[in-house]
Chain A
Amino acid sequence: MTTLRTRWILFAGLAVVVIASYLITVHFRTTASPATQAAFDYLETLPESSVVVFSFDHEASSLPEIKPISLAMLRHAFQKNLKIVGLSLFAEGTAIGYSLLRKTAGEYGKVYGEDYIFLGFKPQYISAILGMGESIRRVFPQDYLGNVTDTFSIMRDVEDYNDIEMVISIADGDRTVQWIEYAGPRYNQKVMAGLTAAMITSYDPYLSSRQLYAVVGGLRGAAEYETLLGKRGGGNRGMLAQSSAHIYVIALVLIGNIIYFRNRKRRGRG
């Protein structure tokens, strides 16, 4: 009974901390990490009309963390007048990718088929990644809305990876690994990622070996990117909630250990 009550108190505490954090507005100074800075600098220096692929390789469950990353990077790409080819190698990422692309394209007055396109979902990601190295139009003969891909001006000069400057995989799992392992060595395709915080350490070896060009990691990465872009968004808004939750967990760990050592001391005396 006591355990159950303690658990409820802990849960309620977290809920209060997070909800209260969203009610308060605090602006943090978020210094960009080298990985976020590299991602920003790359898009910043790309010439206008360069083609980048945004691959929405994630589920809906990670949306609160993934959405601010996607929005910040898409806004930057549209702001720099880059051409965006969107797709998804995860079924659930399809509807999300389409919505986010359409939303950001609307903000910058971009035209579907000229400035951006959404190719939709392809099952069997490995064959899709390898197939795109031979012919993107062959893998995606139709776009998400069922139109023939060839009819859009954006796709006229895009045949394979030779015409793509960068693949940006927005992922909450290991789908980016497949981009790195299959599009990288065989087709020399540069890959960068927008990842959930839980996945960052899994990609550190790829980042260190430069197989992965750059990473925008977690809500913190999104906040850093927004700061570099000069447009505050979901990343910065979530920083107080994330900071408060971290401090709450740290406090609980410390309190838990104090109780543990006090009880051990008592038992030792007894």
Chain B
Amino acid sequence: MRTRIPLLVCLVSGIIMFAQYFSSHPIAKTVYNGILEWWQIIFAFTMFVGVAAFIRNSLKNMRRKGEAPYRVAALVGLTLMPLLALIGGTKFGSPFLWAFDNMIAPMQSTVFSLLAFFVVSASFRGFRARTIPATILLLTALIVLIGRIPIAELISESFPKLTFWIQSYPSMAARRAILIGIGLGSMTTALRVILGIERTYLRGE
């Protein structure tokens, strides 16, 4: 029973959502709109679950050696932003927007910019023409790197064209193959879930 009911709910929901796509009947529209609203409500509640889990996890790990300052900072951040929004609102000039613009945005940009340093280090130490495929990859990367900057047009007008060709043909062919694979895989998985063949979401039962 514990398996059959969820499987039945899944089958019925899947068939309803599939069928309503092809119908413009008012009942189908009402059901569709209702499901969309419920979907958002359920998702909003999952955020509360996420926040609760984060708080619990942070409090639990606070006792670990050296972790307390980071956990406290995370919890202060988690509490401070909603508090600022509740007290001062989210309008222009509010403490919430000030904290976002002057604390969150610069900190996140800083962390993200570290990637550039890793790329520099990796390009010097790892990007070697050891084999023929590696050499092809290396040359392609160099052409694209040059082709994406304005100086390329000063060197030769062929660089941007060559970059465009690489992106439009070999790179795109690989991308398309991946996308088609993902699409077919998604469809197959969806069908397997709806028909009850795929049951891993029921903890493998």
- Answer yes or no: B2 CB below 8 A from chain A CBs: no
Cβ contacts A to B, 19 pairs, < 8 Å: A6-B124, A14-B117, A14-B120, A61-B108, A62-B109, A64-B113, A96-B100, A123-B43, A127-B43, A144-B90, A145-B90, A205-B172, A243-B151, A245-B116, A250-B145, A253-B123, A253-B124, A256-B125, A256-B128
Taking the closest CB of chain A, its distance from the CB of B111, in whole angstroms, is 7
Write out the residue numbers on chain B whose beta carbons fall within 8 Å of the beta carbon of A128: 40
B176 touches A95 (CB 8 A): no
Which B residues are in CB contact (< 8 Å) with A10? 117, 120-121, 124
Given A30-B150, A260-B128, decide whether A7 and B108 contact each other with a Cβ distance below 8 A: no
Which of A130-138, A161-169, A187-195 contacts the other chain?
Answer: A130-138
Taking a contact as CB atoms under 8 Å apart, the answer to whether A60 and B100 are in contact is yes
Tell me if B10 is interfacial: C-beta within 8 Å of chain A. no
Asked if B105 and A123 make an inter-chain contact with CB atoms under 8 angstroms apart, the answer reads no
For window 148-164 of chain B, which residues contact chain A by CB distance below 8 Å?
Answer: 148-151, 153, 160, 164
Please state if B138 and A99 are interface contacts (CB–CB under 8 Å). Answer: no
A92→B138 CA distance, assembly (Å):
36
Q: B51 within 8 Å of A by Cβ?
A: no
| CB of B192 within 8 Å of the partner chain | no
9 residue pairs, one from A and one from B, having the closest CB atoms: A124-B43, A61-B112, A28-B150, A61-B108, A127-B39, A243-B149, A60-B105, A252-B124, A60-B108
**Interfacial chain B residues near A249, Cβ < 8 Å:** 119-120, 123, 145
Write the residues of chain A forming the contact surface with B, with a CB cutoff of 8 angstroms. Answer: 6-7, 10-11, 13-14, 28-31, 33, 59-64, 92, 95-96, 98-99, 102, 122-124, 126-128, 130-131, 134-135, 138-139, 144-145, 186, 197, 200-202, 204-205, 208, 218, 220, 223, 239, 242-243, 245-250, 252-253, 255-257, 260-261
- Contact B123–A204 (Cβ < 8 Å): no
Of all chain A residues, the one with the shortest Cβ separation from B114 is A11
Closest CB of chain A to B133's CB: distance in Å? 15
Partner of A29, one of B117, B153, B172, B179: B153
Count of residues in B whose CB is under 8 Å from the partner chain: 57
Contact of A256 among B96, B97, B127 (CB under 8 A): B127
**Chain B residues whose CB sits within 8 angstroms of the CB of A62 once the complex forms:** 109, 112
- Given A186-B21, A204-B171, A257-B128; 20 other pairs, CB 8 A cutoff: A13-B120, A31-B153, A33-B164, A96-B100, A99-B97, A124-B39, A124-B44, A131-B33, A134-B32, A201-B175, A204-B168, A205-B179, A239-B149, A239-B150, A246-B146, A250-B146, A252-B124, A255-B124, A257-B138, A261-B129
Chain B nearest CB, measured from A186 CB (Å): 8
Listed in ascending order, the chain B residues whose CB lies under 8 Å from chain A are: 21, 29, 32-33, 36-37, 39-40, 43-44, 47, 89-92, 96-97, 100-101, 104-105, 108-109, 111-113, 116-117, 119-121, 123-125, 127-130, 138, 141-142, 145-146, 148-151, 153, 160, 164, 167-168, 171-172, 175-176, 179
CA distance A166 to B145 in the complex (A): 32
Contact of B40 among A131, A144, A246 (CB under 8 A): A131
Contact between A250 and B92, CB atoms less than 8 A apart? no
A202 CB contacts on chain B under 8 angstroms: 175
* Bound Cα distance A14, B120 (Å): 8
Residue of B whose beta carbon sits closest to that of A197: B148
Contact residues in A for B100 (Cβ distance below 8 Å):
60, 95-96
A220 to B91, CA, bound (A): 32
**Chain A hits for B164, CB < 8 A:** 33
Rounded to whole Å, the gap between the CB of B55 and the closest CB of chain A is: 18
Do B33 and A246 touch (CB < 8 A)?
no
A261 to B129, CA, bound (A): 9
Q: Which of B39, B121, B151 contacts A11 (CB 8 A)?
A: B121
Q: Which of B104, B116, B172 contacts A60 (CB 8 A)?
A: B104
Q: How far is the CA of A253 from the CA of B171 in the complex (A)?
A: 21
- Asked if residues B36 and A204 are in contact (CB atoms below 8 Å), the reply is no
Residue ID in chain B nearest A124 by CB atoms: B43
B148 proximity list for chain A (CB < 8 A): 197, 218, 220, 246
